Amino acid sequence: PAEPQPRAMMPGQATQPRRAGSPSPTRAGVPRTSMSERILAAEQRLEALDREREVAAADLTALRERAAAPATERRLRTAYALWLCCPFYPAYALYLGRDLHACLYTLTLGGFGVGWLVDGACLPWYVADYNEPLGYLMRAQRRAAARLFAWRTLLLPARWLLVSASCSLAAALAAAALPVKRLEAAVGAERAAVARLVAGLLGATVGATCACRCVAAVRTRARPQRALFWGALLLSLVLASEEARDKVAEEGVAPSLAAVSLSVAVAAMGGAAFDPSLSPSRGGPAGLAARLLLQLGGVGGVAAVAALSFHLNGDEWLGKDGRKKLREAGAQLRTLYEQLRARSLADHWADLRELLRDPGDDAATLLGVARDASPAEIKQAHRRLARLHHPDKQQDASREEKEEAERMMSRLNAAKDTLLGES
């Protein structure tokens, strides 16, 4: 920017030279900023305008693509119906084009129960992100850049909890996939623990990258390099001394792995940025069958890694004779299943009714008194029936009749205690 021109001199006015070291003239009492500060402010304004220009260009491209191949708009009421009626599988995420979200939801069993509630609060965001109304990208970019956005601030604790839990789960799965006994026999217990921590760090980075993109977020891209750097920095601090490495080898890698997972989650959430190109309505497979097949492949891959981890380290997890006890538990479950199948649905319904029946009504019916009878009436009815069914009165009866009298006497005593306790 050009410097301001000096004011014109009046005839006969003498110029007053400025002394060396004196402050520069001011305008309206405001001191003049330096040239470097003005250049820096202008560059920052240009960068902000460039970002807005990129978002506006992406918005225009999205509108042109939707005009060329119009997609069916998603309805908020349909998304909420799927969310409410199907909490065990995220059909609403597939409906809104969030395939990675659906896969992560399935692997974490509904976000550990909390993700289902968080998604219910975020469904209006997800629907607007899929439909992309006019000017949506500009508003979403400003909302992502805002420091204190109301809904995001309220959901921040739940989002941090879910991202941290996803990181910890991925880290534990990656660390458990290594054969512990073979590693310890080959390189020693200390190096084996370090190898498991490094594998857990890589798994936590993958989990944080996926979770930051899905959990209470739209068009958010995490920076795995940042998360990996901070996790590696904390890991190097944990393993800085030989005593610390020996302690990790003796006590196990679980505490250190939890600390690394939390640092990776915090770094990933802090480095997440808005990316307008991550549209849920474009970029994925078109057919529902292909999307479901991709979901099945992702879930099956993680299940295969978990099965491999159990095959390699199952004895360490379950302890001595752990596999034998597990097989016995499986046999008991199969026996219970066969017993349930042997009975009819009417029998199960009768058992349920018997379980839910009010014991006070049965006690009153057995003693032949009203539910609100006085203690004197309850005791009198109990004595009258006890004279008839007491085992001492059945001297000449058979063994079966004596056993039936004992059971009846026990029922009478229990009925009396129930009614007297209520009164």
Question: What number of other Cβ atoms are within 10 A of residue 234's Cβ?
Answer: 19
**Paired tokens of 306:** 């978990």
Q: How far apart are CA 228 and CA 245, in angstroms?
A: 20
| CA 286 to chain centroid | 27
Alpha carbons within 13 angstroms on the beta-carbon side of residue 374 total 3
**Paired tokens of 270:** 């802090």
Q: How far apart are CA 308 and CA 314, in angstroms?
A: 9
Q: Which residues of 275-297 are buried (b: 16+ CB within 10 A; e: fewer)?
A: ebebbbbeeeeeeeeebeebbee
pLDDT at 30: 45
Q: How far apart are the first and last CA of the chain?
A: 93
Q: How far apart are CA 177 and CA 166, in angstroms?
A: 17
HEC string of the chain equals CCCCCCCCCCCCCCCCCCCCCCCCCCECCECCCCHHHHHHHHHHHHHHHHHHHHHHHHHHHHHHHHHHCCCCCCCHHHHHHHHHHCCCCCHHHHHCCCHHHHHHHHHCHHHHCHHHHHHHHHHHHHHHHHHCCCCHHHHHHHHHHCCCCHHHHHHHHHHHHHHHHHHHHHHHHHHHCCCHHHHHHHHCHHHHHHHHHHHHHHHHHHHHHHHHHHCCCCCEECCHHHHHHHHHHHHHHHCCCHHHHHHHHHHCCHHHHHHHHHHHHHHHHHHCEECCCCCCCCCCCCCHHHHHHHHHHHHHHHHHHHHHHHHHHHHHHHCCCHHHHHHHHHHHHHHHHHHHHHCCHHHHHHHHHHHHCCHHHHHHHHHCCCCCCCHHHHHHHHHHHHHHHCHHHCCCCCHHHHHHHHHHHHHHHHHHHHHHHHC
pLDDT at 423: 65
Residue with tokens 């069914």: 389
pLDDT at 139: 84
pLDDT at 37: 81
pLDDT mean by block of 10 residues, the chain; 423 residues: 50 48 48 74 84 76 63 87 88 90 90 87 92 83 71 81 92 89 86 90 93 90 90 88 80 87 91 85 72 88 87 70 76 87 84 76 82 85 84 75 83 85 72
Q: Where are the alpha helices (H) located in 177-321, listed in sequence order?
A: 180-187, 189-214, 224-238, 242-251, 254-271, 288-318
pLDDT at 29: 47
Yes or no: say if 265 and 228 are a contact pair by the CB < 8 Å rule: no
Could you tell me the sign of the dihedral formed by the alpha carbons of 256, 260, 263, 265, in that order?
Answer: negative
